Amino acid sequence: MRVTARQAERFWKHVNKTSHCWLWAGSCDPRGYGQVSIGLSGQWTIVKAHRLSYWLTYGTIPISRRIHIDHLCRNRACVRPDHLEAVTASENLQRHWAWKRSHLASH
C-alpha cells in the first residue's frame, strides 16, 4: 500500500487525541470501527482507520498469515499506534473473549 504524504496528513486531521486514546472522528462502520476512503493504485477503497494508523506508523502490516490489528485499549475507534498490535486472527479472538468474560464478570 502506497499512501501519499497528503493522504497521511488528511488522515491525521480526523483524529482527536485525548490523554488516553486517539479517537477517529471520521466515518465509522456499524460495529464502531473507524473507516476512511483512500485512493490506492487509481481506485478508491475503504480502509479501517486503525489499520491505516498502524501502517503509517510502522510501515507495514505482516502478511505471512492473516493478521488482525488488535486494540489493546479495547476501544474500536482508537487509532493511537501504541494501542495497536498486529496479532493472528486466533489471538485477536482469544483476547476478545477474555476481555468480554472479565468485563461481564465485573458488572
pLDDT in tens, 49-87: 999 999 999 987 766 568 899 999 999 999 999 999 999
Residue type, 6: R
Beta strands at 43-48 and 84-88: parallel, antiparallel or unpaired:
unpaired
Backbone angles phi, psi at 29, to 5 degrees: -80, 175
Q: What percent of the chain clears pLDDT 70, i.e. is strictly above it?
A: 90
Contact 35, 49 (CB under 8 A): yes
pLDDT for res 82:
97
Return the higher-pLDDT residue of 18 and 101: 18
Residue given cell 489499520 in the structure block: 51
Extended strands (E) in 41-79: 43-48, 67-71
pLDDT for res 95:
82
